[in-house]
A and B are shown apart, each in its own frame.
Chain A
Amino acid sequence: MPDQLIFAMEVTLNGLMAGVLYALVALGFVLIYKASGIFNYAQGVMALFAAMTLVGIMQGQVPFSHMINAVFGSHVTHFGWTVPSLVAILLTVAVMVVLAWLVQVLVMKHLVGQEPIILFMATIGLAYFLEGVADLMWGSDIKTLDVGLPQGINLWIDEVTFNIFGYGFFIDNLDIVATVIAALLVTGLVLFSQYTKQGRAMRAVADDHQAALSVGISLNFIWVLVWSVAGFVALVAGIMWGTKSGVQFSLSLIALKALPVLMLGGFTSIPGAIVGGLIIGVGEKLFEFLIGPMVGGATENWFAYVLALIFLVFRPQGLFGEKIIERV
């Protein structure tokens, strides 16, 4: 087998795994958009906030310590304990649920029935406010996140591929774990929305608010639930990306990676987010590998958008999005 083809296979595999991470972020957008018609610009910042909270709790940081010290002239920074990662993750989930509730009660509740652009603006405001809160709570320094996920080259794949092709593939263990977790998460979400009472109510709200009210569904409750689930998805994405490249401001920019995925997969489709993520992941890695050297590289930053734009022109509703039919 020619070397070039073997390398392309490795690149494709890595692309698929990167795609899973993109899909994970896109999923958070889809969930909220489906249930409430809100394009949640703050999804990326939620991932950052979740990751920072997780690190902060694990390291026993005192929240708002800078503020406390500034006001009281004290010098507290840490409680002096560390929290096991599993406990810290559970606590972070609780924090994300509280955040979801606050967002609903303080902001979204008052904007029911407003134009989508107003809701979008509200989430922009929310994004930057949340970013500030995250800094204020946990400090703006770069943190490393280690919840005990395996990292580094997977030796088994390396060995197997070496025996077959005479060339060992480099696949990161973290990517494999991310793929497995993403698969579990998506399966869980699908089971939840198809087979539970709350899932059924969630789908009902996504379809028609009036009708949902008429069968006794509290919109407020469902929206808090949806924002909580989106917060949980953000936490998972935050853990994966944070472990990979550290917890810092740039983590919130992963939202930008999710945009082409959404353009491709449609804003309303969970399978779309996954397939879209995979296509973007593989597409941009292969393009960089095949065409990149000819144009001087660095195609990964923009290729996804070009791919998404081409899709957008031909299928504005995305791969699996609901078709827009206007009756005249």
Chain B
Amino acid sequence: MLDQADSYVTEDGRTIGGVVMEMKNITLRFGGVVAIKDISFDIREGEIRAIIGPNGAGKSSMLNVISGFYVPQEGEVLFHGKKRPQMRPYEVARQGIARTFQNIALFDGMSVLDNVMTGRLNYMTTNLFQQAFWKGRAEREENENREVVEKIIDFLEIQAIRKTPVSRLPYGLKKRVELARALAAEPKLLLLDEPMAGMNVEEKEDMSRFILDVNDEFGTTIALIEHDMGVVMDLSDRVVVMDYGKKIGDGTPDEVRNNQDVIDAYLGVSHD
């Protein structure tokens, strides 16, 4: 087992750093239903960490705990080694944790560009009066942020639809715009909730490529959820497997693939 502070180099030459985020004995209940039961795992800097499991395993709940949308009844969340106090989702976002949603959540009334620009809101420090009366500074700030956004738009190859209202885009592109918005925040940790759900094979391949490129190019730490095991195994450095709210496996794709509990969960063995 690796030490928390250890860093190592992967086969393809990327450096994986120490632990960024640690979940410690997380338990989450909704009334009598236990969605997450005493789960612990960590996410290291620069890695692609997957959380997989069958439908209803509690994966999305886990992501919502990390992003602050759900508050667990028990357990601790450690960010950069420090215990995170109870926070609202927007405070978590301001700490540098960006996310996408399983059922795309874009700002339908805005263009692609405006949507991605909202990812920069927390980098804009001028106040209302400066924006109204001190044109120079506000304009400079807008331009700086605009540059970052344009870079991301180029990177994700959505230049052609920059000015299009997002409501007119097909599903696959919407997902990409959502990724762009999350990236625009230059997150320390990027959470992707089923980035490939509902996509055709070609779109899935595109999305996989973008996820790998983002991680490679910007060194972004990524945690993603998928129920499609095949996609995940090719993408991720380490995988957590959940089933019925419990953790049944944790390790490299190879380790997980050969884990008997995981095989049972996916192939279906009677639970007794």
Contacts and interface: CB of A to CB of B under 8 A. Distances in A.
Interface in B96-135: 98-101, 105-110, 114, 117-119, 121-122, 124, 126, 128, 131-132
B121 A203 contact: no
B241 interface: no
A196 B91 CA distance: 21
Interface string A205-246: 011101111111111000000000000000000000000000
Interface in B55-71: 67, 69
Interface in B147-179: none
B128 A216 contact: no
A195 B181 CA distance: 18
Contact of A219 (B90, B100, B131, B181): B90
Contact of A197 (B93, B131, B181, B185): B131
B106 A208 contact: yes
22 contacts: A196-B132, A197-B128, A197-B131, A200-B121, A201-B118, A201-B121, A203-B109, A207-B108, A207-B109, A208-B105, A208-B107, A211-B101, A212-B90, A212-B118, A213-B88, A214-B100, A215-B93, A215-B181, A215-B185, A216-B93, A216-B94, A216-B185
B17 interface: no
Given A200-B114, A206-B109, 14 more contacts: A197-B128, A200-B117, A200-B118, A208-B105, A208-B106, A210-B105, A211-B101, A211-B105, A211-B181, A212-B107, A214-B67, A215-B98, A216-B91, A218-B88
Given A200-B117, A213-B89, A213-B93, A207 B126 contact: no
A269 to B, nearest CB: 11
Interface of B: 67, 69, 88-91, 93-94, 98-101, 105-110, 114, 117-119, 121-122, 124, 126, 128, 131-132, 181-182, 185
- Residue with the highest number of chain B CB atoms closer than 10 Å, among A196, A208, A213, A216: A216
Contacts of B126: 197
A216 B108 contact: no
A204 interface: yes
Contacts of B119: 215
A198 interface: yes
The CB with the most chain A CB atoms within 10 A, among B91, B94, B101, B131, is that of B131
Contacts of A210: 69, 101, 105
B110 A207 contact: yes
Contacts of A216: 90-91, 93-94, 121-122, 185
A189 to B, nearest CB: 13
Given A195-B131, A213-B93, A216-B94, A203 B106 contact: no
Contacts of B122: 215-216
A192 to B, nearest CB: 8
A216 B132 CA distance: 23
Nearest to A34: B109
Contacts of A213: 69, 88-90, 93
B31 to A, nearest CB: 17
Nearest to A196: B131
Interface in A161-215: 195-198, 200-201, 203-204, 206-208, 210-215
A266 to B, nearest CB: 13
Contacts of A212: 90, 107, 118
Of the listed residues A200, A211, A212, the one surrounded by the most CB atoms of chain B closer than 10 A to its CB is A211
